[in-house]
């Protein structure tokens, strides 16, 4: 009786808090969930989460979380009313969505950079998700508050989000050995549906040795798609599991892509396997979004209660997709004045690699790379990003601070100038963001090169989206 009363009071308090001004822990959007958790207790949180008829799905990973969540929401909201949220790094954001929205299923992005701030084990215990989706895991986001954390600790924190699951489905990228191992280790407890690429037409242009997440030895790759994603095996017996949802064909043309996808996976809602075959026509949105497409389709087919709609619903979303689905500030290729200009955030080495692979087919003649640098304490990020710059071998490089420190950007520029003697440096001030945006736009528009890639660090909306809007009306 007291528990029910406490839950009711916590709910009322949380909903009332949404009327307050938008200040408080984690930003204004978190206030209702924050107040709910303070007035209630752990049992109140679990009770609130249990009110969702079909449970909750959490989407996590290093890259691809927001886009995968966006696509999954588009897909599954055709079949069931959902509660949803994006770009979450606190349990308060999830609770806020649960309090303020109606729906039988929760779809929540959940970013985790370490155990202390992300509390993944606590989130798993209290929310008790029926699904956890792993996009990909790499070292780029293991730095928190200018402190470089161990990648093993970062990887462990991601693992904790599903480690104690005893029901539901884990969706994992089988091309990524790190997410694949999470899935393999949980097959004894829950169903695991893997997604991946099953063609060799797509190939990385600069792959590096990758350690086996199971034993620490170097993995053997027969094919690399992108960085650590590919066909791999190890002498310890660990190897890439077969995907349940797989890309089996791709026609990648400049104006549109045709993707052939086959699926045979376990559906949690009906407790049995379902099969499907898809031919999708999508915009040329880059290799990373092929993975996001596979992840979202796998998650959708794993949890929709209307399995008879899978093929129709997926085609309805993807055949009508345009580039507006990508989150603000993400990389796009724009045609301008007989030039191809790729613009968007690439705040780590993996993201810059993805952007470079996206624009590489357009790099037939002269190429200019406008590189926006990381900040202080981000030398590891710079090294990974700069390896991609060198691999693309542009005819000219322009260096601009991507974050705050002009001195650090100049230090990075001096390193770049050793390899690219004609490189230029523009010390554009972070505090004068409008001028920085104006100058970066001008550099791209007035470039004499036929292909320009502008990527690196910088604020998603405050910088990258503003630059793109100087080229795109939407």
Cα distance between residue 117 and residue 144, in whole Å: 9
Residue 141: per-residue pLDDT: 59
Question: From residue 354, how far is each of 206, 242, 301 by CA, in Å?
Answer: 12, 24, 26
Residue 23: per-residue pLDDT: 47
Residue 286: per-residue pLDDT: 84
Tell me if 209 sits within 8 A of 220, measured CB to CB: no
Question: Domain 332-469 falls in which CATH fold?
Answer: 3.90.190
Q: Kindly provide the residue ranges of all beta strands, DSSP E only, lying in 7-118, ordered along the sequence.
A: 55-60, 82-85, 105-109
Cα distance between residue 158 and residue 120, in whole Å: 7
Burial 54-79, CB ≥16 within 10 A → b, else e: bbbbbbbbbbbbbbbbbbbbbbbbbb
Residue 53: DSSP 8-state: T
Residue 24: per-residue pLDDT: 43
Extents of the domains making up the chain: 1-50, 52-325, 332-469
Residue 460: per-residue pLDDT: 79
Cβ atoms within 10 A of the Cβ of 260, count?
A: 16
% helix / strand / coil in the chain, to the nearest 5?
40, 25, 35
Residue 115: per-residue pLDDT: 84
Residue 11: per-residue pLDDT: 66
Question: From residue 148, how far is each of 139, 152, 378, 402 by CA, in Å?
Answer: 10, 12, 9, 19
Taking alpha carbons only, the member of 433, 370, 359, 378 closest to residue 397 is 370
Number of H helices, E strands in the chain: 16, 19
> Which of the following CATH numbers is that of domain 52-325: 3.40.1190.10, 3.60.130.10, 3.90.1150.10, 3.40.190.120?
3.40.1190.10
Could you tell me the mean pLDDT of each successive run of 10 residues in the chain, 474 residues long?
A: 68 68 51 86 92 97 93 98 87 93 96 86 97 92 59 94 98 98 98 98 84 97 92 98 98 90 98 98 90 98 98 97 83 92 92 91 93 95 95 97 97 98 97 97 98 94 91 76
Q: What is the pTM of this model?
A: 0.86
Report the DSSP beta bridge partners of residue 370.
398, 454
């Amino acid at each position: 009786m007291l528990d029910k009363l406490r839950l009711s009071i916590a709910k009322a308090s949380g909903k009332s808090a949404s009327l307050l001004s938008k200040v408080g822990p984690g930003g204004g959007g978190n206030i209702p969930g924050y107040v709910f958790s303070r007035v209630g207790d752990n049992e109140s949180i679990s009770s609130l989460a249990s009110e969702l008829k079909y449970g909750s799905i959490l989407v996590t990973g290093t890259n691809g979380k927001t886009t995968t969540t966006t696509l999954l929401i588009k897909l599954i909201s055709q079949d069931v009313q959902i509660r949803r949220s994006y770009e979450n790094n606190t349990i308060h954001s999830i609770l806020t969505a649960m309090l303020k929205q109606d729906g039988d299923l929760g779809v929540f992005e959940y970013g985790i950079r370490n155990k202390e701030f992300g509390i993944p084990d606590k989130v798993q215990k209290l929310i008790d998700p029926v699904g956890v989706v792993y996009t990909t895991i790499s070292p780029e986001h293991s730095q928190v508050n200018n402190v470089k954390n161990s990648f093993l600790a970062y990887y462990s924190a991601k693992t904790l989000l599903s480690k104690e699951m005893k029901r539901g489905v884990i969706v994992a990228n089988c091309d990524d050995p790190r997410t694949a191992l999470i899935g393999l280790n949980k097959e004894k407890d829950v169903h695991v549906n893997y997604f991946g690429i099953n063609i060799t037409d797509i190939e990385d242009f600069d792959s590096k040795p990758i350690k086996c997440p199971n034993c620490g030895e170097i993995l053997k790759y027969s094919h690399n798609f992108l960085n650590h994603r590919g066909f791999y095996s190890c002498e310890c017996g660990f190897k890439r599991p077969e995907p349940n949802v797989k890309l089996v064909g791709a026609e990648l043309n400049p104006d549109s892509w045709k993707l052939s996808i086959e699926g045979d996976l376990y559906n949690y809602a009906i407790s049995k396997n379902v099969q499907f075959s898809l031919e999708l026509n999508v915009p040329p949105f880059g290799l990373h979004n092929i993975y996001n497409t596979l992840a979202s389709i796998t998650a959708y087919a794993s949890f929709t209660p209307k399995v008879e709609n899978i093929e129709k619903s997926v085609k309805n979303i993807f055949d009508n997709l345009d580039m507006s689905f990508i989150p603000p500030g993400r990389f796009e290729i724009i045609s301008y004045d007989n030039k191809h200009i790729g613009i968007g955030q690439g705040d780590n080495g993996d993201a810059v690699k993805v952007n470079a692979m996206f624009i590489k087919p357009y790099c037939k003649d002269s190429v200019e790379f406008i590189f926006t640098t990381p900040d202080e304490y981000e030398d590891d990020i710079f090294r990974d990003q700069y390896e991609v710059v060198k691999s693309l071998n542009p005819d000219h490089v322009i260096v601009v601070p991507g974050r705050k420190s002009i001195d650090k950007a100049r230090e990075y520029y001096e390193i770049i100038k050793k390899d690219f003697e004609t490189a230029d440096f523009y010390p554009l001030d972070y505090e004068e963001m409008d001028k920085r945006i104006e100058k970066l736009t001008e550099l791209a528009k007035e470039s004499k090169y036929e292909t320009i890639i502008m990527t690196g660090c910088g604020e998603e909306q405050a910088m990258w989206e503003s630059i793109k809007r100087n080229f795109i009306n939407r």
